[in-house]
């Protein structure tokens, strides 16, 4: 997977999480994954369509999601408000991915982002050679946030775009 496609997601997650939580964020771990995706807790998926296609999954354990939601909403959110914690994870995914998509579009990649949806299955489909997933773990003071990025880059269309720009 091309690093120039991934870097905006790392930058965006760092910036959005740091702003929302008002504290520093650390990238704990960064691995390539060819096995099927396994959910950690509350997971939101955002799909991209266009010159870059694929999906990004934002995954947070329930306790962390409750803490994140409480920090972002500036009110205490308890386990009885799990629905709101799910909404918070979806909104966080939307903001991180939206900001990354903005950076990529301004660099000339054209694609569309679909609204986030909650993942309920324990396991996703296996990655392929074209869409092997990059898994990142961001350590925050509220707990770990996992981002699983599997993108397919349409080489032919992009080559044509580059040729057209010459």
Partner 1 sequence: MEKFVPVKRSDDGQPVRYLIVDDSVFARKNLARMVETFGGTVVGEAGDGISAISEYDRLTPDIVLMDITMPQMEGIEAAEKIVRNHPSARIVMVSSVGYQENIVAALQRGARHFVQKPVKPEVLYEVIKYVMRDETTTAKSAGAGV
Residue numbers of the site for partner 1 (CB under 8 A)? 16, 19-20, 69, 72-74, 84, 87-88, 90-91, 94-99, 101-102, 105-106, 113-115
User: Whole-number minimum distance, CB 134 to partner 1, in Å?
Assistant: 21
By beta-carbon proximity to partner 1, the closer residue of 1 and 69 is 69
By beta-carbon proximity to partner 1, the closer residue of 6 and 18 is 18
Q: Which of 160, 137, 139, 158 is nearest to 147 (CA)?
A: 137
By beta-carbon proximity to partner 1, the closer residue of 96 and 134 is 96
User: Whole-number minimum distance, CB 123 to partner 1, in Å?
Assistant: 25
> Tokens representing 106?
């301004």
By beta-carbon proximity to partner 1, the closer residue of 101 and 150 is 101
Q: What are phi and psi of 113, to 5 degrees?
A: -110, 135
Q: Which of 77, 123, 124, 117 is nearest to 97 (CA)?
A: 117
Share in percent of the chain as helix, strand, coil (round to 5):
40, 30, 25
> Tokens representing 48?
């991209």
3-state secondary structure of 106: helix
User: Whole-number minimum distance, CB 72 to partner 1, in Å?
Assistant: 7
């Amino acid at each position: 997977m091309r690093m120039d496609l991934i870097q905006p997601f790392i930058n965006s997650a760092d910036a959005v999480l740091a702003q929302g939580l008002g504290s520093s964020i650390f990238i704990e771990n960064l691995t390539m994954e060819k096995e099927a995706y396994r959910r950690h807790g509350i997971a939101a998926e955002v799909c991209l369509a266009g010159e870059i296609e694929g999906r990004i999954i934002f995954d947070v354990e329930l306790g962390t999601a409750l803490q994140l939601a409480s920090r972002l909403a500036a009110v205490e959110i308890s386990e009885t408000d799990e629905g709101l914690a799910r909404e918070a994870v979806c909104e966080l995914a939307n903001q991180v991915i939206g900001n990354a998509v903005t950076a990529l579009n301004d660099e000339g990649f054209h694609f569309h982002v679909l609204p986030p949806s909650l993942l309920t299955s324990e396991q996703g489909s296996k990655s392929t050679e074209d869409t092997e997933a990059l898994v990142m773990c961001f350590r925050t003071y509220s707990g770990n946030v996992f981002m699983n990025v599997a993108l397919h880059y349409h080489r032919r269309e992009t080559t044509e775009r580059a040729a057209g720009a010459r």
